[in-house]
Amino acid sequence: MEDTRKVRTVVAIVLLIAGCVLAPVALTAAWARTQVTNTDRYVENVVPLAADADVRTAIADRITDVILRNLPTRIADGARGVVRGQVGQLVESETFQTLWRNANRAAHTQLVGALSGRDGPVGVNGDTVSIDLGPFVAAARERLVAAGFSAAGRIPDVHQTFDLFSSPDLYRAQRGYRLLDRFGILLPFVAGGLLVLGLCLAVDRRRALLGTGLGVAVSMVVLGIVLAIGRNHYLDRLPAGIGPATGAAAFDILTRTLRTALLVSFVIGLVAAGAAVVTGLVTRRRSGGTAGPAGLPEY
């Protein structure tokens, strides 16, 4: 009997440690899979970027530069203020919101095609993955003409691209995508199953719950640190033309659901640990015994 208890304890500890270690990986995989494979979810997540002041300023400046480069020099030299003013109104309008949704939907489809290696109209040119700013420029051209700036009517349809990342990143992302596509949906179930099985096998379930709760909370802290390091890494390697403020806004908005899930998991871990402590104290008080570590009974 004693040997059986020891074996159960060892197996439970191994399962619980594995579950706690896998928890942040599973959480990240579940988040990434919804971002990478679900276009509707991705679009909904990037919609708030269109309301960010830094993002709007960056896009307005880029569109303005594209338009001015396609005007005769003698006209462009004195037209920057007018063009920038009309483009600024565009990025504040509902038209911009619609264009933003459409552009990101197309970009996401292209990105999935690039990551999966499928053939088709993918926005990959040589060693870069890009999005097309042409629709934004066309909308700005129409607005300028309507405002009386007739020279804008001579601006041709342009397909200025906005680079997302280059080939080394694409190669690494393709490998990650294949793993994510195969195993991403299973990881949360595996992590949860390990934790549940470990708790069921534990001889002292209150102590096991305490350890599991603290383990999950600590793993979420580690994930938060990794996320902060990843944010700094991303900001240090922004593509040309993306300012730090714009890059930070994009990163924070795209990862907000992951950060929320991280915080919820951290709180759940602390609540579980707290419940184990309280239960141990109540049980000990009723039995009149001596409390062990964290108020749990000694056996």
- Domain assignment of residue 110, yes or no: yes
- Residue 20 within any structural domain of the chain: no
Residue 281 falls inside a structural domain: yes
The pLDDT value given to residue 163: 65
Residue 180 domain flag:
no
Domain membership flag for residue 230 = yes
Compute the average pLDDT of residues 146-154. Answer: 88
Q: Is residue 200 part of a domain?
A: no
The domain containing residue 120 runs over which residues? 36-170+205-299
Check pLDDT > 70 for residue 234. Answer: yes
Q: Answer yes or no: is 254 within a domain.
A: yes
Per the model's pLDDT, the better-predicted residue between 191 and 236 turns out to be 191
Is a pLDDT exceeding 50 seen at residue 119? no
18 inside domain: no
Mode of pairing for the β-strands spanning 161-166 and 124-125 = unpaired
Please count the structural domains in the chain: 1
